A and B are shown apart, each in its own frame.
Chain A
Amino acid sequence: MYAQMVDTGASRLRSREEMDADEQAFQARIDDGQKIEAQDWMPEGYRRTLVRQISQHAHSEIVGMLPEGNWITRAPSLKRKAILLAKVQDEAGHGLYLYSAAETLGVSREQLVDDLHTGRAKYSSIFNYPTLTWADIGAIGWLVDGAAIMNQIPLCRCSYGPYSRAMVRVCKEESFHQRQGYDLLLALCRGSEEQKAMAQDALERWWWPALMMFGPPDADSVHSAQSQAWKIKLLSNDELRQKFVDQTVPQAEYLGLRVPDADLRWNTERGHYDFGAIDWSEFHAVLKGNGPCNRERLQARREAWAEGEWVRAAALAYADKHAAAERHSQAA
């Protein structure tokens, strides 16, 4: 997902008896469905895992602006241009809401951004794929935002107050993102043969990376078990992926597009779609930095930050000067 394979630092899930009194009380509050707030006591592992997860999520929003941002200047109508610009701007907002939430845990934005730029922090694998045609903008909204929503709706109920509140705000905005993507593809699929081919090509390139967004099967992962116990992960990767496939396949059919999976079929017994095996070697390669656009994405963010340094410094210098002047005039 936007936060993939988050390390909890746990080597195994500990039983209640192994926890000290503080930890027991903390776990009891979570089990009781209470929200943890920034000033509350929390185990160090919980805090560190949250910082990792929320910042990965924030980085994904910000890096995610780049592949779509590519097409703002090339959108084919003024209405689509405004819609895409508003959508990408929302993603910047999501990044900011999430950095805010992470900052309540005692890390600075500068630190978080630095972790991204030096490669210590990760962001979602999906944003390392290129946007080659206008139809890719539709595919991202429909599939990528669609997958994100699937993951973010349960996170609105997560145990950490600032994170859950940020998710509530994000989810309100996401539905527009998915719909504008689908609407864009619908226009292409109702258009010329060339437009429809463009849509089909986009689905073929984005389908599997979208399924990979949910991360490798984690039913047996100790990190997932720990995150679920802390209620900062609510459903397993495979559960979410299945929900996504079940929801999305009929939508593809309505568009008249073919999902690129020969093994895809409805399983009446399970009441779900069966689908083909995912190539996890590609996922791991992309995560390691070898996706088609990893270097470009990181470089773009680093450049923006480095070239903006003098601007940020100027604004601070101005604020300092004028605060000093004000103190002086008040003293006089």
Chain B
Amino acid sequence: MNDARFECLLRLGDNALVLAQRLCAWIGHGPVMEEDMAQANVALDLIGQARLWLAYAGELEGRGRDEDALAYGRDAGAFRNVLLVEQPNGDYAQTIARQFLFDAWHHAELSALTASSDARIAAIAAKALKEVSYHLERSSDWMLRLGDGTAESHARLQAALERLWMYSGELFDADAHDATLVEQGIVPAPQSLRAGWLQQVGAVCTAATLTMPDADAWMQHGGRQGRHSEHLGYLLAEMQFLPRAYPGVQW
């Protein structure tokens, strides 16, 4: 009966982990040093969250897998993150658009999870929510500055938004696991977050002089079930190589 909860925890943990891994690649290469600091803070928060979710997932599973066994020992097909977070960094506009689309959802998801009937999930969500409120403020700030900055930044951000848009629909997908957990009051119904998300994204796009893509456009699906884009395999190959080259040792 814990299967659904295990899946849900992997989804939360893998979203945070994969996005953090992407952000890590910016450190030392950002457009201005202050942004390196900021991206590192966001990544640190997300790694911290991933550890909490995955550690809990491992305990529930009861097969002796800890956070690292889950992070480093699973192949792409066993990862449950949404497709959005595994998309490449691209230019800074793409990184910001990806972050903003995710943050807006993440914030709503965590807010709902603070009322979860699973006390541990509620506690982790409450801690993460404080961090993600800041992430969302920051990514919104940058949506405005790039969208309503120069002609070049506007064009880049509009293009990034359009490129990433088809990965946003999956955030609101529901499957049998969701149905079970919604019934138990453990997670919110994914669709219940959609209207608020669209409204928030729309408002920021308007303020940023961007055109929000069509809400009913064709969407990609599958990340939450382990069907990923080509990008995830490379990301994991890099992330997991040491424990795989030297199995069974402590670091």
A and B touch in the complex (CB under 8 A): yes
Using a CB–CB cutoff of 8 Å, the interface residues on chain A facing chain B are: 62, 65-66, 69, 72-82, 85-86, 88-89, 92-93, 95-96, 99, 134, 184, 187-188, 190-192, 194-195, 300, 303-305, 307-319, 321
Q: How far is the CA of A65 from the CA of B246 in the complex (A)?
A: 26
Chain B residue contacts of A74, Cβ below 8 A: 238-239, 241-242
Known: A62-B33, A308-B92, A311-B92. A187 touches B250 (CB 8 A): yes
Main SS at interface, chain B: helix
**Contact flags (1/0) for B39-67 with A, using CB distance below 8 Å?**
01101100110110010000000000001
A314–B250 contact, CB under 8 A?
no
Given contacts A191-B249, A317-B150, A321-B148, list 8 more A-B pairs with CB under 8 A.
A73-B238, A74-B238, A76-B251, A85-B27, A307-B92, A310-B150, A314-B153, A318-B144
CB distance from B37 to the nearest CB of A (A): 5
B47 nearest CB neighbor, chain A only = A82
Name the one of A75, A96, A308 contacting B37, with C-beta atoms under 8 angstroms.
A96
Q: Are A80 and B239 in contact (CB under 8 A)?
A: no
For B142, the closest partner residue in chain A by CB is A315
Closest to B246 in A: A194
Please name all residues of chain B whose beta carbon is closer than 8 Å to the beta carbon of A321 when the two chains form the complex. 148
B146 close to A76 (CB less than 8 A): no
**Nearest Cβ on chain A to B14's Cβ, whole angstroms:** 12
Which residues does chain B contribute within 8 Å of A86, judged by CB atoms?
40, 44
Chain B residues with a Cβ under 8 A of chain A: 17, 21, 24-25, 27-37, 40-41, 43-44, 47-48, 50-51, 54, 67-68, 71-72, 91-92, 144-146, 148-150, 152-153, 156, 238-239, 241-243, 246, 249-251
**Is A76 a contact of B31 with CB atoms below 8 Å?**
no
Contact at A73–B24, with CB atoms within 8 Å? yes
A241 to B193: give the CA distance in the assembly, Å. Answer: 61
Alpha-carbon distance between A78 and B54 when the two chains are bound, in angstroms? 11
Q: Could you say which residues of chain B place their CB within 8 Å of the CB of A89?
A: 27, 36-37, 40-41, 44
Please name the 7 residue pairs, one residue from A and one from B, whose CB atoms are nearest each other, closest first.
Answer: A308-B31, A314-B149, A314-B153, A89-B40, A311-B31, A76-B242, A69-B28
In the bound complex, CA of A78 to CA of B44 (Å): 10
Specify the chain A residue showing the minimal Cβ separation from B91. A307
